[in-house]
Amino acid sequence: MLFRLFQRDSPLSVLALSSLMSLMLGSASVCSADDDLAFYTSILSNSDIQIEVRSNAVSRMLRLGGELPERTISEMLRSGDDQVIQAIAQALVGAGPPSPLLTDSLITVLAVTTPDNGALIGTTLSRHGDPVLESVLELHEKQRAADGSRIALIRSVAAFQSRLAVDSLVTFLKEPSSSEELAAALRGLREITRLELGNDVSSWVGWWNAVGDMPLEQAIGAVSRDREQRLLEQEQQIALLNQKNQSIGERLQQVLADWFITLPEDQKEPALRQLLAEELVYVRMFAGLQVQRMLRNGVTPESDTIDQIMRLLDDDESALRILAAQLGSAMRVDGLADRLAASITAEDDPQVASMLIEQIVLDPSPAAFTPVLFRLNDPVTAQSSARALARLVDVGMVPDDWAVRSLESIRGLHSSHPMPSSAALLVLAGEPEDLDRAVNDLEHESLAVRRASANAFVVRGRFDEVLARSDDPAIRPAAIRALDLVEPTTQSLDHLLSLTPSDAEVNQWKKVVENHAARFPIDQRIDVDDLLSKDDRVPRQLRLQVLAAALSSFGEGAPSELQWAILDRQTELLVEEVRWQEISDTLFGLDCSGHDSLRLRLFIARIRLGDFEGAAQVESNPQLWINLLDGTFKVAPAEAAVIAIEIEQRFGEQLNEAQREQLEFISQSLAVASVLEVGPDS
């Protein structure tokens, strides 16, 4: 382990520390070249250290220059340790052409190393071209004579990308010592030529014999052109046959339709069951479409017919397998999801599998997880599989370890073809580094990708990334949900109030505003209401609900100063809402002495409700009654007339001269107003 290099009794401790720092930071070492070489050699020899670090050590050794580092690397290569060879080979791939000494050592170890190391070594050696390839081929002959392994040698040949390399690989096909060598040669040919000649040795040999001395690029192009021509001719023939078959099928279905319509109603469904079992595809398709028509007309097929339809999930015709899945979903067949899961696993046609997977989105099942995950790696089914997996995750029909099992496939899919479901899955299943990369999806050009990623970030509890982009219409709904989950602060409430929800989002926004405000500590409710009062979109009713919730949390007993303050704010809003009964009920039984604004509102509320006795219990000063009358008679004369009579009857002789004059003036004004309203001819 590395820590051994730093022990006090290690003579390399100081040197190791300096060299390791230079290795990790890319800086120049403060030690001598010999000290560095010793340290890098110890790193390369240590099997406990990661390959990447050991490969870095080799790169540093090469930068030291001179013969000694190359000789050291050469000796380490010839040790035959596969990990050492891998570390050296990786370093040399990123370096320039190897020296003669290293070239000779690299060729030598091809006889003993792994196939993957052989491919790396081949990449390095290929910089010297065919002269070095000839040396590799000489070693190959020696290995063949000695019955030694040649797989690494064969893998190295493919890296040369030359005509000689292809010729050699074709020769290897003719005389393989094992199936592994044959597979390595075929793989090499495919890597060089990119031709799709399969694993048929005769096809490769025949192609190579046919091209003769033609340059490699022309030889590859000739096959491609010939193959394209043959494929085009085959496609034309198939299209012609399909056209004829379709014409015959359409005529057959028309005949069946003319016959089917003549059947009595009680004979139609039994006839359909017979047709569903017929050998001809067009007949079975006709019957399936008739069942589809029944469902559209609200007719539920009999159980025997449903069973017959479900058997079509195993039909040889792909269109019928898809139709069976769609009909089963429309009929809500019990156990359909499990049947579909089995069909997805067994399906050979990826296009059909994709259509079956789409049904899983509509009718999810825990049994679908494994087949959907398997299809996630198929380019044809990847998109539907991602949607299905996202649906399974959303409804909780995945195993506990779903993220671990799915993550690599999700990464690959999203990297090659980002879409909303893959964006969401990457966040839901991802490690922290995946989430850091997924932040880029919040800036994606696709609105749907941004929306899906934002929703997933909220599920994962990563709110900051979403809230920072809350002005984006695609992300705003997720930001609203995030603010519903964060710990409430005045900043978070202010952020929520700064949003401009669309018509479709406004109800959700108001609900979150209410929930968010209601979660504040009681002693902050007045400050919260101050913020709410500045936003015209927040209705008074919402503010009243927040205040009422705060009041309900207080226990019995005399109200505290905070409770009085909340009551004052609540009743102020109730006055604006003209809800006199609620004011009276809220303040009933409370001693409002010392709280003039509350006492005045209770007094006014009882007057407005016609509870004059209750009003007198709150306020016995006739001047306040007259003041209220003075503010009422111009806007509500009928109500004012009743109040005037009540004042006269209740206070009478208690009124002073000024109050008497004011009352008489108002009464006369009310009388004049009454005459004018009735009219002179009445």
Mean per-residue pLDDT, 592-607: 85
Give every CB contact of residue 287 below 8 A, 6+ residues apart in sequence: 272, 273, 275, 276, 278
Structure tokens at 204: 């490769």
What's the token pair of residue 436?
Answer: 């850091």
CA distance 63 to 46: 20
The pLDDT of residue 257 is 76
Please tell me which residue, 640 or 369, carries the higher pLDDT value. Answer: 369
Rounded to 5, what percent of the chain is helix, strand, coil?
75, 0, 25
The confidence band for 12, taking pLDDT boundaries of 50, 70 and 90, is very low
Among 494, 555, 499, which residue's Cα sits nearest to residue 527? Answer: 494
The rounded percent of the chain whose pLDDT value lies above 70 is 88
Q: Give the mean model confidence (pLDDT) for residues 141-163.
A: 76
What pLDDT, on a 0 to 100 scale, did the predictor assign at position 17? 40
**Mean pLDDT of the 184-208 span:** 83
| 243, burial (CB in 10 Å: exposed 0-12, middle 13-18, buried 19+) | exposed
610-638 confidence digits (pLDDT tens): 888 888 888 888 888 888 888 777 767 88
DSSP for 315-360? -SSHHHHHHHHHHHHHHT-TTHHHHHHHHHHH---HHHHHHHHHHH
Is it the case that residue 247 has pLDDT exceeding 50? yes
What is the average per-residue pLDDT within 307-312?
90
Helix (H, G, I), strand (E, B) or coil at 299: coil
Rounded distance, CA 447 to CA 533, Å?
34
- Alpha-carbon distance of 616 to 324, in angstroms, equals 81
Give the per-residue pLDDT at 442.
Answer: 95
Q: Please state which of the ranges 8-12, 148-152, 503-507, 562-566 shows the lowest mean pLDDT.
A: 8-12
Rounded-to-integer distance, Cα 642 and Cα 4, Å? 101
pLDDT at 402: 94
User: Per the structure block, which two tokens stand in for 214?
Assistant: 């033609």
Residues 6+ apart with CB under 8 A from 635: none
Contacts of 26 (CB under 8 A, 6+ apart): none
Look at residue 2 in the predicted model and tell me its pLDDT: 40
Residue pLDDT, tens place only, 268-284: 889 889 888 888 888 88
The predicted pLDDT at position 191 comes to 86
Residues 73 and 95: beta-carbon distance below 8 Å: no
Fold of the CATH domain 2-223: Leucine-rich Repeat Variant (1.25.10)
Element at 413 (helix H, strand E): helix 402-416
Confidence of residue 242 (pLDDT cuts 50, 70, 90): low
Q: Which residues contact 395 (CB under 8 A, 6 or more apart)?
A: 364
- The model's pLDDT over 344-362, given as tens digits with 9 standing for 90+, comes to 888 889 999 999 999 888 8
523-527: Cβ within 8 A, 24+ apart: 523/562, 524/490, 525/550, 525/566, 526/565, 526/566, 526/569, 527/490
Residue matched to tokens 């936003």? 535
Question: Cα dist. 630→35, 303, 598, 633, 643 in Å?
Answer: 103, 82, 20, 6, 10
Q: What is the structure's pLDDT at 554?
A: 75
Q: What is the pLDDT of residues 470-526, one digit of tens each?
A: 999 999 999 999 999 999 999 999 999 999 999 999 999 999 998 898 888 888 888
The least confident of 19-33, 138-152, 335-349, 655-669 is 19-33
Determine the Cα–Cα distance for residues 249 and 439; give it in Å rounded to an integer: 53
Quickly state the pLDDT bin for 18 (edges 50, 70, 90).
very low
Q: For residue 231, what pLDDT is reported? A: 56
459: closest CA among 443, 438, 440? 438
Distance CA 188, CA 156 (A): 9
The span from the CA of 232 to the CA of 224, in Å, is 12
**Residue-wise pLDDT tens digits, 95-125:** 778 888 888 888 888 888 888 888 888 888 8
Sequence-separated (6 or more) residues with CB below 8 Å from residue 57: 23, 40, 41, 43, 44, 87
Please report which helix (H) or strand (E) contains residue 296, including its range.
helix 281-296
Interval 170-187 mean pLDDT: 83
CB–CB of 154/118 below 8 Å?
Answer: yes
Nearest in space to 356 (alpha carbons), one of 400, 409, 312: 312
Q: How many CB atoms lie within 10 A of CB 96?
A: 9
Which amino acid, 607?
I
Average pLDDT over residues 458-463: 94
Is residue 442 within 8 Å of residue 421, measured between CB atoms?
no
pLDDT above 90: residue 462: yes
pLDDT computed for residue 643 by the predictor: 85
- Whether residue 228 has pLDDT greater than 70: no
Residue 36 has pLDDT above 70, yes or no: yes
Which 8-state DSSP code applies to residue 623? H
Q: How high is the pLDDT of residue 11?
A: 42
Tell me the average pLDDT across 60-65. 87
The pLDDT of residue 551: 81
Listed residue (574, 568, 567, 572) closest to 552, CA to CA: 567
CA of residue 461 relative to chain centroid, distance:
14
Q: What is the pTM of this model?
A: 0.54
- Mean pLDDT within 428-455: 94
CA–CA gap between residue 372 and residue 421 (Å, rounded): 13
Please give the share of the chain, as a percent, with pLDDT higher than 90: 21
Whether 397 has a pLDDT exceeding 90, the answer reads yes
Band (pLDDT 50/70/90 cuts) for residue 147 is: low
- CA–CA gap between residue 182 and residue 178 (Å, rounded): 6
CB of 85 within 8 A of CB of 113?
Answer: yes
* Residue with the larger pLDDT of the pair 33 and 139: 139
What's the residue count for the chain?
Answer: 682
For 30-34, 553-557, 603-607, which range has the lowest pLDDT when averaged over its residues?
A: 30-34
Res 141: pLDDT:
76
In 3D space, the residue among 64, 130, 72, 74 whose CA is nearest the CA of residue 98 turns out to be 74
Mean pLDDT of 377-393: 91
Q: What pLDDT score was predicted for residue 423?
A: 95
Write the pLDDT tens digit of every residue in 559-594: 788 888 888 888 888 988 889 898 888 888 888 888
The residue among 359 and 458 whose pLDDT is bigger is 458
For the chain, the domains span 2-223
The mean of the pLDDT values for the chain is: 83
Who has greater pLDDT, 644 or 240?
A: 644
